[in-house]
Structure 1
Amino acid sequence: MAGEGCEFEQTFSFSPLPAKKPSFLQDRDTLALLMKWSMLGRISAQCFSFDQSFYPYKSDRFALCFFRDPNVVSSLRNMKGGARMTLDRPVVCVDVEQVLCTEVSMKLFDPIYSCGVLRPSGHVVKCLHDVYPDYDELRQMLREEDSEHYSVIGREERREFLFCIFKHLCFGGELCQHEDTIDPYISTTKLIYKDLISVQKHPETKKISVVSSILKVCAHDDSGRCFPGGREEEQTFAYLIVDPYKRHVTLFYHHYGVGSFDIKAEDL
């Protein structure tokens, strides 16, 4: 957890990049799916530039400066949607978790297609559950360690940002209408992931690698957690995706709850 000290060490300044809007927030088919999954108006991404070199070992300081920056505070106060940040009090500390991000293809999900979670048609196998009605083998495999299919995705792969996005989409919002097939989850995960991360190709080997650093973040003021807001819930999340070369950072977040706020179906 990072606390006081930002003023006395390296300080980052941030500027909004309103023209840099991820394509998944402009794609009609994706927006329709997010509405179906009860995430529309509650999931978003905001882009900013920053003025100093970023180093992963200084992630805590970077995140603390981000949530204290006047331009960030103003942008989050004025945003549309349910994850708006009021920031009536200054942020005093942040929790930062570095998230693995190495995948450059969708091969991570290949084991799901042959382990019994899906039918040959791609339809998700339904199952009974004591707690969750209308449950299926896919969500059980994603969430419950005692699932017979849990181990088909290794623990290291489950730490990947690509997998985190997929899992978030599969569980959706509070009134999520879950898909009967896996394809919409996979295609939307791919689109969002490509939108958010930056890659480079090695000039000699031609190998593509991810250059982005992913930070899962939570900001606190002197009264407790202030961003992402709402009760602590796995589906209320915030990530900072940092491109150290362009000096761009994207805040990708979702606020779990009911309703899509001021975005309506006729707006799609």
Structure 2
Amino acid sequence: MSGEKCVFEQAFSFSPLPAKSFSFQQDKDTLTLLMKWSMLGRLSAQTYSFDSNFHPYSCETFALHFFKDPEVIPSLRNMKARVWVPLENPVVSVSVELVPCTKISMELFDPIYSCGILRPSGHVVKCIHDIYPDYDELRQMLQEVDSEHYYAVEKMEREEFLFCLFKHLCLGGELCQYEDTIDPYISTTKKIYKELISVQKDAETKKISVVSTVLKVSAYDESGLCFPGTREEEQTFAYLIVDPVKRNVTLFYHIYGVGNFIL
């Protein structure tokens, strides 16, 4: 990858920050929802500090150094036979996608409330589906391009990390019990997003903006894909959320499957 050439231009070292915690990993109501959505114990967030200035153009080098760092490797886990295990082999390459992250409000979701996906009460409209017997207009809008509501949220907005997070929560895990109303998805998305993303206020304009850079990542060993999972799956995902001001990075990931496990 192009990142290999940059390895000699800038190096990053990382240190775990075990004291850094997130309320969505401890809040009783949130944990109850994650269990209902079959994501409890499979959704993880861990924060690390790093020692060099970060710039988006160095994202591949940054990610590769992260997954190869001796302070990070012991904290990485994968799942085999429903058991968390350390990565077996060293990471040799990474795939990195820069995810837009600019939103500081929930206005992005306003079109969902007025396009026919929801009833006035906030209940999600059910629909008939050839494959999924208990399907609804919300999941159809999230997953199927030919849905009449797919572009209720515009393409650029759908690419935002805020929307990606919402989609992940709505689709859930393998044994997800889906919500009848949209409120739990919206409130949980807001709670997690606010904790993961860093913002700052301009001293002159007083305008608040996001300073975090979000990278969707996959790591590969000599045998192929090894993190966050060993096979491609939409709901197996990993993001590196970089705060360049504090020089912190949070690894936020989920492994799709059955069972509740705690790291």
* Fold match (TM-score > 0.5): yes
* Cα distance change on mapping 1:77 and 1:236 into 2, 3 Å: closer
Counterpart of 1:266 in structure 2 is none
Q: Structure 1 residue 204: deviation in Å?
A: 1.2
Deviation (angstroms), 1:4: 4.0
Alignment coverage as a number of residue pairs? 261
Q: Does 1:106 align with 2:106?
A: yes
- Indicate conservation of the 8 Å contact 1:2/1:95, yes or no: no
Q: How far, CA to CA, are the matches of 2:227 and 2:39 in structure 1?
A: 17
Q: Which runs of 5+ in 1 are unaligned?
A: 264-268
Give the whole-Å Cα distance in 2 for the aligned partners of 1:83 and 1:192.
Answer: 26
The answer as to 2:212 corresponding to 1:203 is no
1:193 aligns with 2:204: no
Distance 2:167 2:192 in 1: 13
Structure-1 residue corresponding to 2:53: 53
Matches for 1:2-151 after TM superposition, within 5 Å: 4-5=4-5, 8-77=8-77, 84=84, 86-151=86-151
SS in 1 for 2:38: coil
Distance 2:20 2:139 in 1: 33
| Shift in CA distance, 2/46, structure 1 to aligned 2, threshold 3 Å | farther
Question: Is contact 1:238-1:254 (8 Å) kept?
Answer: yes
Report the TM-score, using the length of structure 2 for normalisation.
0.95
Identity percentage of aligned residues: 73
Q: For 1:138 and 1:179, locate their aligned partners in 2 and report how far apart those are by CA, in whole Å.
A: 10
Contact 2:78 2:227 in 1 (8 A): no
> Tell me, what secondary structure is at the counterpart of 2:179?
coil
Q: Partners in 1 of 2:70 and 2:192 — Cα distance?
A: 28
| Aligned residue identity for 1:75 | S
Q: Secondary structure at the match of 1:241?
A: strand
Deviations along 1:202-243, one digit per CA (max 9) or x if unpaired, are 111111100000000000000000101142110000000000
1:214 aligns with: 214
**Long gaps (5+) in structure 2:** none
Separation in 2 of the partners of 1:44 and 1:75? 11
The SS at the match of 1:8 is coil
Structure 1 length normalisation: TM-score?
A: 0.93
Matched, 1:254 2:254: yes
Q: CA deviation at 1:8?
A: 2.7
Alpha-carbon distance, 1:145 to partner: 0.8
Deviations 1:143-189 (A, max 9, x none): 11111111110000000000000000000000000000000000000
Query: CA separation of 1:17/1:139 partners in 2, compared to 1, >3 Å: closer, same or farther?
Result: same
- For 2:174, the aligned partner's letter is E
